[in-house]
Chains A and B, each alone.
Chain A
């Protein structure tokens, strides 16, 4: 069942002379992870801004076509109401952290406080999220004293605690080191297993290959390709639209070019190991 339906969406920013999104049609199924990929300036963040209602409610501009969240047009959703349906995690956790709270526990509680939730219930929910994300050791720290990876996990926690059905996560790992990246992806996987619908902008294509169900490839404001992760990331054309392909797919393609076809194009490390092992056995038998 689809939770978000976008039909023939075009959008132009207020002082811009051309469309940032051109005739975009996308259907987002509930409980799936969609990765938005493609070169910067292709419209990924703009599409995120439409889905979280910042376009048209905050940015204004010229929005054409249809954007339905649970069947209701984005123009009819109130921002307060939508913020509980669609949670948004910023690229830079500095942008997100409120700056008005002195510890992590209160920072995570901030959103629920603004909803006017009863304090006992807030404490319960914040505790729950802190346990779930395994960040209990951070609870009394000042949000600004955390490392980048820790900050990003607190930023995620402060959105997850609001229990939105849809999580829009814009380049959560671009400023993180490998360890921080891994921790953020653990949380994303956890949310996926909880049945959340996730829309993720991310450049680290090997991680997308591992976690995403579907890929939407945007190029110059248009949907250049969309489909299952396997379909898109084993298709060399993606490169011509400015998207990267996983090392494992590129390896499979190279093998094919050299007449050593593995039988399939692997997407992940695990698949590549399997494919090569099978190929080597065949080689020995032949």
Chain B
């Protein structure tokens, strides 16, 4: 049963600019999905409709039986959490602990539960050493993890990450991968916007491609990354290893290094 569904959802800004045009998507509980596409394709506007930050100007967004038109963002945030693309749009406390604690506290959870949620989220995001620090004394990449922890602490069923991989180094990428996997295993739905195709290959199965304010493909990663027509329309490239397989004319569905090596072993 689908937990989160967008049906012909469009969004137009007050000046009339249509940022998303009749988008259809649905997500089950416990799924992990990547959304890819160039800037301006409508990715962020689409996910902002999923937690009620934006209400569709046409069509419907239904979460666990709730139509977002009938609920406030505060109510929806119990079900769907959104981590902003720019951490500075989200952070507003003077120390990391208070920042993470704000959400669960507003949910009215008992004191011990608030504390447990904060510590679990801080550990997953790797921000435990900075709990007393002012978030703005931390580098951009670490501030991003503070905002991720703040959303994890809400314990919502769906978590949306908007470009978590931007500007991240190798250890941070590993932490992100581990965090997504852990939350997924807990049965949470993880929706991630990213430009990093290797990150998609390593951490997701299903990929949604957006271009020109619409969904142009929604499929298994292997089907997406070998559909050159879709990639071209979205101005995206195959992952590096797929490209290598394509250029060499070997394997028609290779995504990662071990697969390419396996394929070459046959030619030995």
Q: Which of A244-286 contact B (CB under 8 A)?
A: 244, 246-248, 250-251, 254-255, 258, 260, 269, 272-273, 276-277, 279-280, 283
CB distance A177 to B267 under 8 Å? no
| A-B CB contact pairs (8 Å), 21 listed | A39-B170, A40-B142, A41-B139, A91-B140, A148-B39, A174-B166, A174-B167, A178-B237, A203-B167, A206-B240, A246-B240, A247-B239, A247-B240, A247-B241, A250-B257, A251-B257, A251-B260, A254-B258, A258-B261, A260-B265, A269-B244
What is the bound-complex CA distance between A179 and B268, given in angstroms?
37
Chain A 140-161, CB within 8 Å of chain B: the 1/0 string?
A: 0000000111000000000000
Q: Which of B126-169 contact A (CB under 8 A)?
A: 139-142, 166-169
Give the residues in chain A near B247, CB-CB below 8 Å: 269, 273
On whether A242 and B170 interact (CB within 8 A), knowing A148-B39, A260-B264, A269-B247, the answer reads: yes
Nearest chain B CB to A145's CB is how many angstroms away? Answer: 12
A180 within 8 A of B: yes
**A276 and B248 contact, CB distance less than 8 A:** yes
Contact B248 A273 (CB under 8 A): yes
* SS of A interface (majority): helix
Q: Is B198 part of the contact surface with A, judged by Cβ < 8 Å?
A: yes
A38 at the B interface (CB under 8 A): yes
Q: How many residues of A contact B (CB 8 A)?
A: 40
A244-B170, A248-B240 given as contacts; is B39 within 8 A of A283 (CB)?
A: no
Q: Is the interface of B mostly helix, strand, loop or mixed?
A: helix
A279 to B195, CA, bound (A): 32
Residues of A within 8 A of B260 (CB): 251
CB nearest to A262 among chain B residues: B264
> For chain A residues 72-118, which have a beta carbon within 8 Å of chain B?
91
- B267 — which chain A residues lie within 8 A by C-beta? 280, 283
- The answer to whether A180 touches B39 (Cβ under 8 A) is yes
Q: Does B14 contact A (CB under 8 A)?
A: no
User: Residues on A close to B: CB < 8 A?
Assistant: 38-41, 91, 147-149, 171, 174-181, 203, 206, 239, 242-244, 246-248, 250-251, 254-255, 258, 260, 269, 272-273, 276-277, 279-280, 283
> Which residues of A sit under 8 angstroms from B235, Cβ to Cβ?
178-179
**Chain A neighbourhood of B110, CB < 8 A:** none
Determine the chain B residues whose CB is within 8 A of the CB of A254 once the complex forms: 257-258, 261
Chain A residues positioned under 8 Å from B19 (CB to CB):
none
Nearest CB to that of B262 among chain A residues?
Answer: A258
Q: Which chain B residues lie closer than 8 Å to A276 at the CB level?
A: 244, 248, 264
Additional pairs, 14, CB under 8 Å, beyond known A91-B140, A251-B241? A38-B169, A40-B141, A176-B39, A178-B236, A179-B38, A203-B167, A247-B239, A247-B241, A247-B257, A250-B257, A251-B261, A260-B265, A273-B244, A280-B267
Most buried by A among B167, B172, B237: B167
Give chain B residues whose Cβ lies under 8 Å from the Cβ of A280: 264, 267
A203 touches B168 (CB 8 A): yes
With A149-B39, A255-B261 known as contacts, the answer to whether A175 contacts B166 (CB < 8 A) is yes
**CB atoms of A178 and B195 under 8 A apart:** yes
User: Are A247 and B258 in touch, CB under 8 angstroms?
Assistant: no
Q: Compute how far the CA of A41 lies from the CA of B265 in the bound complex, rounded to whole angstroms.
A: 41
What are the residues of chain B within 8 A of A247 when measuring CB–CB?
198, 239-241, 257
Whether B139 and A40, one on each chain, are in contact in the complex, defined by CB atoms closer than 8 angstroms, is: yes
| Distance between Cα atoms of A148 and B168 in the complex (Å) | 18
The smallest beta-carbon distance between A97 and chain B, in angstroms, is 16
Instruction: From known contacts A177-B195, A242-B170, infer whether A277 and B248 are also in contact, taking CB-CB under 8 Å.
Output: yes
Partner of B261, one of A174, A178, A260, A272: A260
Q: Report the Cα distance A246→B243, complex, angstroms.
A: 14
B135 to chain A, nearest CB (A): 15
Q: List the B side residues contacting A239 at CB < 8 Å.
A: 170
Most chain B Cβ neighbours within 10 Å, of A176, A180, A247: A247
Contact B264 A255 (CB under 8 A): yes
Q: Cβ of A246: which chain B residues have Cβ within 8 Å of it?
A: 240
A40→B142 CA distance, assembly (Å): 9
